[in-house]
Copies of this chain bind each other. A is one copy, B any other.
């Protein structure tokens, strides 16, 4: 469970002062695991924090990802996506509806290698693109008519 207390402790542990804005952004990512953009986060929180600035969202997301509290997902051409789930998993983007989904499968952890050909690796992203179940069906329907 991601209680506010748990989030606060987590940020403190990482040396991040848990301000109102930082807490809200972190909580937003955990509560809405849709890999949101900066704009989506800003629009989500703006009503409850009317003074919130988009720059703060940018700054905070940068800080959080630098301190490894969150991950960035570079699967979309236009905007960077953010993910509060830092457990190893792949991402899939539907080229029709644009939805970004988590993908889990056996053997994924094996990709999280730390050393390879003398390279020191500390970040890994596995990205897939294609068509989700819903869009596959819609395309079939359209083609049949």
The residues of A with any CB-CB pair to B shorter than 8 Å are 74-75, 77, 80, 92, 94, 101, 103, 105, 107, 110-111, 113, 116-133, 136
B119 touches A132 (CB 8 A): yes
Check A103/B119 contact, CB under 8 A, given A74-B77, A77-B74. yes
A116, A119, A123 pick with most chain B CB within 10 angstroms:
A119
Chain B residues within an 8 Å CB radius of A101: 119
A-B contact pairs, 17 of them (CB 8 A): A74-B74, A74-B127, A92-B119, A94-B119, A107-B110, A116-B128, A118-B133, A120-B131, A120-B132, A121-B128, A121-B129, A122-B130, A123-B129, A123-B130, A124-B129, A126-B126, A127-B127
Contact of A128 among B110, B119, B127, B136 (CB under 8 A): B119
Query: Which applies to chain A's interface (DSSP): helix, strand, loop or mixed?
Result: strand
Check A131/B119 contact, CB under 8 A, given A75-B74, A125-B125, A126-B126. yes
- Given A77-B80, A119-B132, A126-B126, 20 new contacts (CB under 8 A): A74-B74, A74-B77, A92-B119, A94-B119, A103-B116, A103-B119, A107-B110, A116-B128, A118-B132, A119-B131, A119-B133, A120-B136, A122-B129, A122-B131, A123-B127, A123-B128, A123-B130, A124-B126, A126-B127, A127-B127
